[in-house]
Amino acid sequence: MSKKWIILGLIMMMLGTLLAGCGGSSSKEQTVRVYMGGEPETLDPAKITGVPEGNYAQAMFEGLTEVDKDGLTVPAAAEKWDVSPDGLVYTFHLRANKWSNGEPVTAKDFEFAWKRLLKPETAAEYSYMLFPVKGAEAYNSGKGSVDEVGVKALDDNTLQVTLEKPTAYFPSVCAHSSTYPVNQKIVEANGDKWAGDVATLIGNGPFKLTEWTHSSKLVMVKNDQYWDKDKVKLNKVEWLLVEEVATALSMFENNQLDYVDLPPMTEVERLKKENKLQFDKIEGSYYYEFNTKKAPFDNPKVRRAFAMAIDREAINKNVLHDVHKPLYAWVPYGFTNPVTKKDFREEGGDLFKGNVEEAKKLLAEAGYPDGKGLPPITLLYNTNENHKAIAEAIQEMWKKNLGVSVELQNQEWKVFLGTRKSGDYQVARAGWNADYTDPMTFGDYLLTGGGNNYGRYSNPAYDKLIATAQSTNDQAVRMQAMHDADKIAMDDMAIAPIYSYSHYYCLNPKVKGLISPPTAILNLKYITIQD
């Protein structure tokens, strides 16, 4: 009796294996299956905050501008724009385009979307992206009215934007998901529910959403109403919603996926050997933040000593498998200087060097020869294998090079954020990614009293240079001021840079034409599948 059961069970298992079969991508179908992350929190452009969501939305919507692979801002929904001589008024001229339901996209949709983003009741985290616009911050904080916001549709194809002060990078803000247009009629008729239903979630981009199976997949097909549809060769995009990147990698290796974003660090060495990994630049920095208001890190010499005693090359080679780039400045790689067309970082070069002798000397000058007399020091990071490996390497370097014993402490992500914000730490692991493609997204971070400046770094000379860069549209002047500010930040060692992020991913070699700009928001518009 029991034997029969076992045999039956075995037969069932075998049948199952026979039934299995996973279809791959072929040039005939022109379908791409992408992993960027898990279930989106929302697909409402006004409320998107995460990178995966930004990617999903980029395929469905089109902003006034977009970012090309070099990080330069190029026309998208707007064909061109004029800037007034004082740099305060931008006039965007829209292309003739339609929503995926066939209705025309007008400047009024943009005006509506932007005012909705700023409306206090929308409670949008990224409302601050539009704070350069006149009256925007006042309206968002309940101090001004919607009529005073400097956004106006002059006619169906012309959008006029008035700014508070010259903001040279404003066109790159217009590529951010928060500034995408939304269809006024649909949103007004459906309220917040519009973004939860495939039927009402319509966009103006190259693809339209046809299926959203929660925690499973988003399916998008080519949008026949899109103005540039002749250039779109791809028929279908499937975003597979997977929470665990290791799972996504298994799926890639089983031909269930064509693209996997940021595969696990532990697999990188193997993937590199198997030629499965690709790299692109991205504007982000990984650094250690000093609490500059607490001894001993209130002393720039101590900060410099600790920063110079880190062997970044060794960390990059041994811990990061040469994926990222050692960084010796505040502003990372990835930004393009619009005047010289060169990478801002390469232009500025390394602003200090790793140097153990110098570090020891500085520590002695600060009154702590060989680390004697230093209070106990704790290095804080959020719980994560990669952060731990880096922290342990640096702990070892500080011990060996400076003779300083540092304790490591890890905290769960949201607890960690709270600790950093309250300033109750000495050195903390941190990272920063660009909101828009201009070095100012890093520059204004270290301003005295800056909202994200948790280390409370402050230097009037730095503030002045950033103010200069913020007051003109003359890119040559701006870039020079930001280079100078960067030098000051590193002379003071406001933070200890560790590495500049790279964007690394696995891509099926059949997939051609993927554009991966330094914002990490992929452009799928030009993809073709070639056998």
Partner 1 sequence: MLSYTLKRILNAVVVLWLVITITFLLMHAIPGGPFTTEKNLPPAVMKNIEARYKLNDPLWKQYTDYMVNLTKFDLGPSFKYQGRTVNDIIGESFPVSFHLGMNSILFSIIIGVPAGVISALKRNKWQDRLIMFLTTLGVAVPSFVLASAFIHVFAIKLALLPAAMWNGFEYQILPSIALAGMPTSFIARLTRSSMLDVLGQDYIKTAKAKGLANYVIMYRHALKNALIPVVTYIGPMAAGILTGSFVIETLFAIPGLGRHFVTSIYNRDYTVILGVTIFYSFLIVALNMVVDLIYPLLDPRIKLGGKKEG
What are the phi and psi torsion angles at 98 (to 5°)? -125, 155
Please enumerate in sequence order all residues whose Cβ is within 8 A of that of 290, keeping only pairs 6 or more positions apart, or say none.
Answer: 297, 303, 306, 426, 427, 455, 457, 493, 494, 495, 496
Give yes or no for a contact between 497 and 329, defined as CB atoms under 8 angstroms apart: yes
Instruction: Rule CB under 8 A: choose which of 26, 27, 145, 254 binds partner 1.
Output: 254
Q: Is 42 in the site for partner 1 (CB under 8 A)?
A: yes
Which stretch in 15-23, 348-356, 372-380, 393-401 sits in contact with partner 1 by CB under 8 A? 15-23
Give yes or no for a contact between 433 and 406, defined as CB atoms under 8 angstroms apart: no
The Cα 471–Cα 448 span in angstroms is: 17
Q: Per CB under 8 A, which of residues 54..93 are in contact with partner 1?
A: none
Q: Is 145 in the site for partner 1 (CB under 8 A)?
A: no
The Cα 383–Cα 411 span in angstroms is: 5
**Token pair recorded at residue 85:** 């001589």
Instruction: Say which residue the tokens 């988003």 belong to.
Output: 218
Residue with Cβ nearer partner 1 (201 or 359): 201
Q: Is 29 in the site for partner 1 (CB under 8 A)?
A: no
Q: Per CB under 8 A, which of residues 210..239 are in contact with partner 1?
A: 213-216
Which DSSP string corresponds to 170-233? Answer: HHHHTTSGGG----HHHHHHHGGGGGG-TTT---SSSEEEEEEETTTEEEEEE-TT-TTGGG--
Instruction: Rule CB under 8 A: choose which of 28, 85, 102, 121 binds partner 1.
Output: 121
Residue with Cβ nearer partner 1 (67 or 136): 136
Rounded to a whole number of angstroms, the minimum distance from the CB of residue 406 to partner 1 is 24
Instruction: Rule CB under 8 A: choose which of 82, 243, 298, 396 binds partner 1.
Output: 243
The Cα 520–Cα 523 span in angstroms is: 9
Residue with Cβ nearer partner 1 (121 or 147): 121
The Cα 202–Cα 99 span in angstroms is: 7
**Token pair recorded at residue 407:** 């304790």
Residue with Cβ nearer partner 1 (43 or 331): 43
Rounded to a whole number of angstroms, the minimum distance from the CB of residue 132 to partner 1 is 13
Scored b (16 or more CB within 10 A) or e, 130-152 reads bbbbbbbbbbbeeebeeeebbbe
Instruction: Rule CB under 8 A: choose which of 29, 86, 125, 211 binds partner 1.
Output: 125
Q: Is 360 in the site for partner 1 (CB under 8 A)?
A: no
Rounded to a whole number of angstroms, the minimum distance from the CB of residue 127 to partner 1 is 6
Q: Is 509 in the site for partner 1 (CB under 8 A)?
A: no
Residues that bind partner 1 (CB under 8 A): 1-3, 5-6, 8-9, 13, 16-17, 19-22, 39, 41-42, 44, 47, 49, 120-125, 127-128, 131, 137, 140-142, 192-193, 195-196, 213-216, 240-244, 246-248, 250-251, 253-256, 412-415, 417-419, 421, 431, 451-452, 454
